Amino acid sequence: MIKLYSIPPSVYSAKVRLVLRAKGLDFEDVLPPGGYGSDAYKALVPYGTLPAIDHDGFLLADSEAINEYLNELAPEPPMWPADLRQRAQARALARFHDTRLEPSLRALFDHVDPSKRDYDFVARQTGVIAGRIEQLARIATPSPLMTGKHLSLCDCGYAITLEMLSQLDGPMKLGIMLPEPVARYMAALRADPVVAAELATYRPALAAWIESEVSG
C-alpha cells in the first residue's frame, strides 16, 4: 500500500493521484501529521512540502520524482512516449507546467480573499498567466492529449492547474480566455476517465478552499 501525504486542494497532490489512478495502484490519502509545514511533518519529510509518498518504508517527495517512480514501479499503462525525442519534449512540457505556468497561478493564492487582495498585482499577474498560456499554445500540439490519445505524465499537472484557473476565474474576475488549442486540450483532459474520476473529488475540495478564502 502506498501512503500519499496530501491535503485536499493541493495541485501537486492531485497530480500524483492521477498517476496512482491511471496505474490502478492502491493508495491511502493521509494528512501530514501536525499539518502542512509542521515540525512533526518535517520530521518525516525534511522539505515539509506536499505531496510525499511512503511506499513500504521508502519515502519520496516532489511530485515529478514521485510520478517518475510510479511510472517505473507499474510500467502499464506506459505514461511516457516510447520515442526518445517525443519523450524529451513531453518532459519539457511537464517542466513548463511546474516551473512556469503553475507558479504564475500560485502567485494569486494570497489574493483570493477580497479583503487582502492587491488588485493592481492581480491585474499584472493575470497578464503573466495569460502570457504563459499563450506560450503553451505555441509549444504544445495536443492530439488530443499532450502525447496522443492516452494520458501521460506531462498531462497530469495541466489537468489540475487548468481546472484551478477555471474555478478562480469567477470570484477573482480574471477574464483569461484560453486560446482555441488550449481550450480543446482542456476539454480532452476533462473527458479522460482517469482525470474525470479525480476531478469528481478534487473540484469540491477546491471549491471549498476558494469559498473559505473568499469569505475570509
Structural domains present in the chain = 2-73 (3.40.30.10), 84-214 (1.20.1050.10)
User: Does residue 129 register a pLDDT over 80?
Assistant: yes
The pLDDT, as a whole number, for residue 41 is 94
Q: Looking at residue 83, what is its pLDDT?
A: 96
To the question of pTM greater than 0.85 for the whole model, the response is: yes
Give the tens place of pLDDT for each residue, 51-61. 999 999 999 99
- What pLDDT does residue 35 have? 85
Encode pLDDT of 140-192 as tens digits. Answer: 999 999 999 999 999 999 999 999 999 999 999 999 999 999 999 999 999 99
d(CA 210, CA 208): 5
Taking the C-alpha atoms of residue 131 and residue 190, their distance in angstroms, rounded to an integer, is 23
Phi/psi region, residue 206 (left: phi>0; alpha: psi -120 to 50; beta: rest), is alpha
* 52-55, strands of its sheet edge to edge: 27-30, 2-5, 52-55, 58-61
Average pLDDT over residues 127-150: 97
